[in-house]
Structure 1
Amino acid sequence: MVRHNNQLPDNLPQLQNLIKRDPESYKEEFSQQYRHFLSSLEVFELNPSNENKSLDELVMFIAQVAQCYPDVCLQFPQHLVDLLKNHATTLDPQMRNCFVKALILLRNKNLIPALDLLELFFQLLRCPDKNLRTFLQNHIITDIKNMNAKHKDMKLNSTLQNFMYSMLKDTNPRAAKMSVDIMIELYKKNVWNDPKTVNVIATVGCFSKITKVQVASLKFFLGHDEEDKDPDESGSEDEVDLKSALMSNRVNKKTKKRKKQLEAVKKQVVKASKKKKNAEPFNFSGIHYIHNPQGLAEGLFKQLQSGNERFEVKLMHLDVISRLIGIHDLFLFSFYPYITRFIQPHQRQVTRILQFAAQASHELVPGDVLEPVLKTIANNFITERNSSDVMAIGLNATREICSRCPLAMGEELLRDLAMYKAYKEKSVMMAARSLIMLYREQLPAMLHKKDRGRQTEAQAERKIKEYGEVHAHESVPGAEVLLKKSKTIDLGDSDDDSDSNDGQWVDVSDSEGGPVSDGDDDDEEDESDEEEDDDDDDEEEEDDSGEDEEESDEESENEEEEETTTSKKSNVPKKSATKKEPKEKKQKLPKEVKLLNEKEAAQELALTRIFTDEDFKRIDMANIKKAVTNSRKRPLEKDKAEFVKLDNIEMIYKKRKHDKDSRLETVKEGRKDRERFGYKDGRKNENCSTTNREKRKGKNFIMMRHKARGKVKKSFKDKQKALRDHLLKQKKMK
């Protein structure tokens, strides 16, 4: 069919619209345009550096309607791919961008395999066109993310990863840098967040000869992930915990000491609740996926010593190495003498270097290795010839190192540093006291007796660990509180004793291993049953020797001691202990029943019972109470953090200067209690006359100018004359 006056070949947008509406009716026109494209492509390949706008229009037209004629456009994507592979660097930038956009349109319509297109785009990253590289990077990340949206295609991902790993070793710095950026971005988007990706970045990227690739890889292990914050989270649970803590510590008689303890409990609960809400400062898990952290740390340290990079890159190496040592508990003893060289107050970024020294500390590092670092800090920072800020930073860095390796501090050095607790500058004083508080918790014996403070219950229960010693908990710490009966606490403001329920122990020696009962009736029935069993046993075994009688005597004495100790702990009167009966009337316990101490009973309870949320709340409150009992302000024991905050080292307590607004506020506050403003002469009667000196202040300066002249300093000659005249006058008067 021949159309007369056909203008469609010259109007491609109109033809594109008509083809999308009715593809079959305009197949001939499309075939004509496709043949025109093939002929134009042959001509263009003869001189690919020149721009051909008509070819651009044909390429975009065919890419828009290629899905309507898949049999005709079967080789169209391959033509564009071959053209870009052969002439990528010589093509005009506008033409190259046009071909890339056309291929992306075909990829969105599933007319070209994703693997072929991504391999081409990775090769195009070598092009000296920054806009094109950024465009390709965004498309590669988006395309791979969309392919793994519903389910991960492991075969395709593995193929793409292997190709990208080879690109990391490319000699072209642009392609290698873009490849590592794509891998890092895909890891952050949880697409390629597997150990394989992390270890390739660690083994290939961190040791690349291209500085930009090396820096990007090091930054990958120094990054942070922002956790999603839930705005709907409320502090209702923390408020309940706070009320429970306050009510559990109330007693009949109110004293100042108990009031201080209640305030301390309140502060501890508030701090604990804030700590639970806040995300951890170091939560980037890439460094945990490394297969050989010891080899990576040694390789980076060797590269740091032999390299000649700028100072910022050296700091990145030190940061990554210190994190590897601290997180994986590595041994790299040559790292500490190397970092000691930079610990000087005048050193650039010295606070970060101190941070790295703290991060590289852990409990398995021998104290002899870390002790020179502490002595260097003490000699260079903690001396009175330095400013107070420098001294405070040195003490803070010492505290951060010792919190991770307490055995690194010597007793003599610790006692010398503790003497700064009475220093005139507040920043130094607070830093020294924080160090003392640390060793009160860890190794109080190293402190002077006056610095050890009053020991809390939690400190008394804590065992001091030797080098390399690990304390494994046999039960849930603080589960002993569940052995006591609990009743609902009245939240009203009554003066009744809320601790009257404490001190009554629950029987956990159930022969069937069942759950612990909390009722009073059950305990009474158990006691009556035990008495009946004892009577039966006495009737059956009357001829036994005195060994059983002695055992029963010891058991009864243990029971009396437990009752007396529990009655002393609680402030409520208990039932009086039973008197010791004669030996012939003693009752012997059955063989199935075992008398357990508090620790064994808590362990048995943890094995035979599933703790509820209420049980864990009671345990937390009991641990908080132990931390503040018999102490004024004692912080809870902090867990070891993987990442050392720089603010902990740069934390300086000092009163900052007021700005203009704050100064005016303080001035206005000071004027509130004044009766009148202005000069106060101290006269009792305001209506009486003033002195000439007071009147002089209100006169014009011209009137008092001659008086001011008299205040000019006299010369030495005038003073001699005045002194001579004064002496002559006194002589005549005599």
Structure 2
Amino acid sequence: MGKSRASRGILLTSNLPQLQNLIKRDPEGYREEFLTQYNHYLSLLRLHQVSSAGATTSSSATDKSNELFGDLITFISQVAQCYPEDTKELPKQLRELLLGGEGGTTVKGDLRRTVVKNLVMLRNKEIIDSIELLQILLPLLPQVPQALRGVIRHTILTDIKTSNVKTKNHRLNRVVQSLLFGMVESGMGAEVVGDKGKGKAKEKGGEAMWAVMMVKELWKKSVWNDAKTVSIVALAAFHPNTKVQSAALHFFLGSENEDEDDSDEEDGGGVRAARKLARNMEHRLEVGKSGKKREKMLTQMKKDANKKGKKKAAGIGHTPNFPALELLHDPQTFGEKLYDNLHKHDKQYSLDHKILIMQLLSRVMGVHKLCVLGFYSYIIKYLTYHQLQVTLILVSLAQSVHDLTPPDVLTPVIRKLAQEFVHPGVGAEVIAAGLNAIREVCRRQPWCMEEDLLSDLIDYRKSKDKGVVTASRGLLQLFREVNPGLLKRRERGKAASMGLIGNQVLAYGHSRDAAEGIEGLELLDEHFANLRKEANGGISDDSDAEMEIDEDDDAGWENWDVESASSGSSGWEDVASDGDEDIVLSDSDDEDDKKKSAKSKGKKKAEKDDEDEDMDDAKSVVSMAPSAATEVSQTTKKLSLLAQQKILTPADFALLNELRLKAAKDLAESGGGSAAKRKLAALEASKRHVADDEADRFLTEAEILGPRKKAKATWEERMESIQKGREGRDKFGSMKGKKKKDAPSSSTNREKARNKPIMMAVHSNKVMQKKKASLRDKQIKLRASIEKQKKLKH
């Protein structure tokens, strides 16, 4: 079909959008025009490669050529799905333009942004897959400017998240994780410069920094949560670039207060950026129009900036990334490498960075119960009260201790704490912090304390400072519970003295015998029996017990997803046998059993005689103590029945806790005594902390500092309090009369007279009249007052 002369004008290069529209409607009819533009695109591509290789052209000509080249790239990408054979080399060409190919040339500026957008469009049209796109975009992150970097970062995160929505895309995840691992590993051989001093050399680690940031974002969005993800950040924790290392440490520590120059400032969410925006808004209100809406916006911006400042001043977050710590591969080696890195580069790292490493090392030691004994000899030099951020160091020390830490290693540390922090030459806050730190260390390993030192420390409970008294009493109460033998007789208390008899403290390395059953399991059995009885109309029927228990098992495991740490397999796996033969289960009719049955007849006869003797002994025991034997048999029957019929689900354990708490309340109300009340208090305390796993609970600075006086409010806090008090009232109005009275009114003259200055009151008309009154007037007033008092009495 021929084209009219009027329609040929729209096929020029300046009308590429119209040509693109026509090609999408009729690809075969406009194939010739497409090939003309495609050849033009190839010629500009070769021209760009030649000019980048060394040819010199004017800047205006280069800008015009780049603009035309970008339009052609967009046009070819838009219609690529119409001519797949002709444009099969397009993704490769765009990749070379961004990353450099055989010619070693890359595009810059707006042309690079155009190429990136067209690559994303090709991915959306499924001309290329996610793996090919991410292999191009990930290496670009440290090379592009900030504006384009945000687009690339958002594209990568969205693509990975979308690919893992329904099911885990293991192939894509493995490829991307390998790329990120390579980005981190590429700079591991560099020399460690450190972050101490202003004249430090410029560090190289942009690729590794962006790899860690991408991993953190995907972990935060719950897209990646497997051991391979943690291994990438674990490798970055030993990167020579201190910024990369700091970002990896913050990932494990769960802190959101990272270096603003690296991540927060780029996203516009840092403290400096927030305060700068607030100042700009305040300036616009001063020089331009102002209104209530803009004033509210300014107030909210200031509040946000103050909150971020407080969060940054608080230091490391108190919610560590506990799942990541659990998924560490070979935590002992990881902890030893952390300590070696800390010890080797002690003079190169700043104090803040060393404290970050101490925090992570201590938490890994506490979670996995590691023994890195050199850490205690290293940290002992920082245990002085004038040391900067000493509370964080004390927190690290306490968190690293556990019940398997050798007491001999901790005894010098306890002595150092006592010598530096607990003596009359320091302030009360220092003494309280030292006592609290000693208490937390001894809570985890009581055998590190010496008897004479403990006696001196608990004498501080007679101090005049509240914080010191609380800390010393806490240490005394701790040893009354864990090891009262170290206390003097008069300091043990009644409960500890009674418990010391026949209940000795276990030595280091020893543990109590394993529990033989689950406490309160009979309550759960009775609850199930009552449910079955109600379902059967009040008649107890155990025939359907097994069926109902199976149904309860299915419901009890709802919303209880446990992902494999390896994340490499899902569901059940078939295990092949050593040979090709199938496993055959033999019955009692097999030949082997027939041969063995003849041999076992003689043994059974002998065993029968022994059983008869045991039964006679048992009957005599039952006759001597029938009630006790009956109780034991009933308990054993309940435990065995429930254990045989049901596997307890998380829902069953939650129900068991509720039943135990209810039984303890009933026992305490019915006069169970102090023991029942203590048991009830313990169960309620465990219920309050059920959401926070004990293993996930780490020490904080507040627990080391102890109770303190309220600190003086900062200027921002005072202004915030003032603004809060001004809400809901006029600009200069008083709320005194409106708050304290039922009916809103102003203050009376009598109330105003109470606050009148004394020099004005003595010269008031009322006072002056009293002074000038005659004797007769005074007598009249006195008699009237006496009469009034008499009437009030009657």
How does the TM-score come out when normalised to structure 1? 0.64
> Of 762, 774, 777, which aligns to 1:698?
762
2:192 alignment counterpart: none
TM-aligned CA distance change 1:63 to 1:615, over 3 Å: closer
1:539 alignment counterpart: none
Unaligned 5+ runs, structure 1: 226-278, 489-544, 563-592, 681-693, 701-734
Q: Percent identity at matched positions? A: 34
TM-aligned CA distance change 1:458 to 1:117, over 3 Å: farther
1:377 alignment counterpart: 417
1:83 alignment counterpart: 97
The alignment status of 1:44 with 2:75, answered yes or no, reads no
The alignment status of 1:288 with 2:326, answered yes or no, reads yes
> 2: distance between equivalents of 1:605 and 1:462?
33
The alignment status of 1:430 with 2:487, answered yes or no, reads no
- Following TM superposition, by how much is the alpha carbon of 1:363 offset from its aligned partner in structure 2, in angstroms? 0.1
1:645 alignment counterpart: 700
> 2: distance between equivalents of 1:594 and 1:218?
60
State the secondary structure of the residue aligned to 2:43.
Answer: helix
CA contact (8 A) 2:123 2:130 kept: yes
- Following TM superposition, by how much is the alpha carbon of 1:559 offset from its aligned partner in structure 2, in angstroms? 6.0
State the secondary structure of the residue aligned to 1:290.
Answer: coil
TM-aligned CA distance change 1:35 to 1:183, over 3 Å: same
In the alignment, residue 447 of structure 2 is paired with which amino acid?
Answer: L
- Following TM superposition, by how much is the alpha carbon of 1:425 offset from its aligned partner in structure 2, in angstroms? 1.2
Higher relative contact order (CA 8 A, sep 6+): 1
CA contact (8 A) 2:238 2:245 kept: yes
1:161 alignment counterpart: 177
- Following TM superposition, by how much is the alpha carbon of 1:395 offset from its aligned partner in structure 2, in angstroms? 1.9
TM-aligned CA distance change 1:43 to 1:422, over 3 Å: same
CA contact (8 A) 2:239 2:245 kept: yes
The alignment status of 1:53 with 2:71, answered yes or no, reads no
2:9 alignment counterpart: 7
2:388 alignment counterpart: 348
Normalized per residue, which structure has more helix?
Answer: 2
> 2: distance between equivalents of 1:548 and 1:395?
62
> 2: distance between equivalents of 1:596 and 1:168?
63
TM-aligned CA distance change 1:603 to 1:441, over 3 Å: farther
> 2: distance between equivalents of 1:429 and 1:355?
21
Question: 1:189-268 residue pairs with structure 2 within 5 A?
Answer: 189-202=221-234, 204-223=235-254
Deviations 1:313-337 (A, max 9, x none): 2111111111111111111111112
The alignment status of 1:178 with 2:216, answered yes or no, reads no
TM-aligned CA distance change 1:697 to 1:111, over 3 Å: closer
> 1: distance between equivalents of 2:735 and 2:446?
46
Deviations 1:60-79 (A, max 9, x none): 22222322332332222222
State the secondary structure of the residue aligned to 1:11.
Answer: helix
> 1: distance between equivalents of 2:478 and 2:327?
32
> Of 332, 335, 342, which aligns to 2:375?
335
CA contact (8 A) 1:383 1:391 kept: yes
CA contact (8 A) 2:41 2:72 kept: yes
- Following TM superposition, by how much is the alpha carbon of 1:139 offset from its aligned partner in structure 2, in angstroms? 2.1
TM-aligned CA distance change 1:411 to 1:74, over 3 Å: same
In the alignment, residue 66 of structure 1 is paired with which amino acid?
Answer: A
> 1: distance between equivalents of 2:740 and 2:521?
54
Question: 1:42-121 residue pairs with structure 2 within 5 A?
Answer: 42-48=46-52, 50-51=62-63, 52-86=66-100, 91-121=107-137
TM-aligned CA distance change 1:117 to 1:468, over 3 Å: same
> 2: distance between equivalents of 1:133 and 1:549?
84
Unaligned 5+ runs, structure 2: 54-61, 188-203, 257-316, 531-612, 726-733, 742-749, 765-794
1:305 alignment counterpart: 343
Tell me whether 349-358 or 624-633 shows the greater mean CA deviation.
624-633
- Following TM superposition, by how much is the alpha carbon of 1:29 offset from its aligned partner in structure 2, in angstroms? 3.3
> 1: distance between equivalents of 2:213 and 2:138?
12
The number of residue pairs the alignment matches comes to: 543
2:508 alignment counterpart: 467
CA contact (8 A) 1:478 1:623 kept: no
> 2: distance between equivalents of 1:23 and 1:473?
77
- Following TM superposition, by how much is the alpha carbon of 1:548 offset from its aligned partner in structure 2, in angstroms? 8.2
TM-aligned CA distance change 1:89 to 1:446, over 3 Å: farther
TM-aligned CA distance change 1:174 to 1:130, over 3 Å: farther
> 2: distance between equivalents of 1:605 and 1:458?
38
> 2: distance between equivalents of 1:446 and 1:113?
69
In the alignment, residue 157 of structure 1 is paired with which amino acid?
Answer: N
- Following TM superposition, by how much is the alpha carbon of 1:89 offset from its aligned partner in structure 2, in angstroms? 7.1
2:632 alignment counterpart: 596
> 2: distance between equivalents of 1:346 and 1:284?
32
> 2: distance between equivalents of 1:145 and 1:300?
32
CA contact (8 A) 1:404 1:640 kept: no
TM-aligned CA distance change 1:198 to 1:89, over 3 Å: farther
TM-aligned CA distance change 1:130 to 1:679, over 3 Å: closer
> 2: distance between equivalents of 1:199 and 1:695?
79
TM-aligned CA distance change 1:283 to 1:24, over 3 Å: same
CA contact (8 A) 1:322 1:360 kept: yes
- Following TM superposition, by how much is the alpha carbon of 1:551 offset from its aligned partner in structure 2, in angstroms? 8.2
How does the TM-score come out when normalised to structure 2? 0.59
- Following TM superposition, by how much is the alpha carbon of 1:280 offset from its aligned partner in structure 2, in angstroms? 9.8
In the alignment, residue 35 of structure 2 is paired with which amino acid?
Answer: S
Tell me whether 643-652 or 335-344 shows the greater mean CA deviation.
643-652
Tell me whether 210-219 or 446-455 shows the greater mean CA deviation.
446-455
Aligned residues: CA RMSD: 4.6
Deviations 1:540-582 (A, max 9, x none): xxxxx9x989985x7666568x7xxxxxxxxxxxxxxxxxxxx
CA contact (8 A) 1:395 1:435 kept: yes
State the secondary structure of the residue aligned to 2:77.
Answer: helix
> 2: distance between equivalents of 1:422 and 1:44?
85
> Of 665, 675, 680, which aligns to 1:629?
675
Tell me whether 348-357 or 55-64 shows the greater mean CA deviation.
55-64
> 2: distance between equivalents of 1:38 and 1:484?
82
2:154 alignment counterpart: 138
- Following TM superposition, by how much is the alpha carbon of 1:12 offset from its aligned partner in structure 2, in angstroms? 2.3
Question: 1:117-132 residue pairs with structure 2 within 5 A?
Answer: 117-127=133-143, 129-132=145-148
State the secondary structure of the residue aligned to 1:475.
Answer: coil
In the alignment, residue 698 of structure 1 is paired with which amino acid?
Answer: V
The alignment status of 1:188 with 2:226, answered yes or no, reads no
> 1: distance between equivalents of 2:390 and 2:681?
31
In the alignment, residue 67 of structure 2 is paired with which amino acid?
Answer: K
CA contact (8 A) 2:74 2:114 kept: yes
> Of 16, 34, 37, which aligns to 2:38?
34
TM-aligned CA distance change 1:646 to 1:597, over 3 Å: farther
> 1: distance between equivalents of 2:97 and 2:466?
73
TM-aligned CA distance change 1:148 to 1:85, over 3 Å: same
Question: 1:357-368 residue pairs with structure 2 within 5 A?
Answer: 357-368=397-408
CA contact (8 A) 2:96 2:105 kept: no
2:449 alignment counterpart: 409
CA contact (8 A) 1:420 1:428 kept: yes
CA contact (8 A) 1:457 1:629 kept: no
Bigger radius of gyration, 1 or 2? 1
> Of 355, 365, 368, which aligns to 1:325?
365
Tell me whether 168-177 or 457-466 shows the greater mean CA deviation.
457-466
TM-aligned CA distance change 1:483 to 1:3, over 3 Å: closer
State the secondary structure of the residue aligned to 2:79.
Answer: helix
> 2: distance between equivalents of 1:30 and 1:376?
82
> 1: distance between equivalents of 2:759 and 2:124?
95
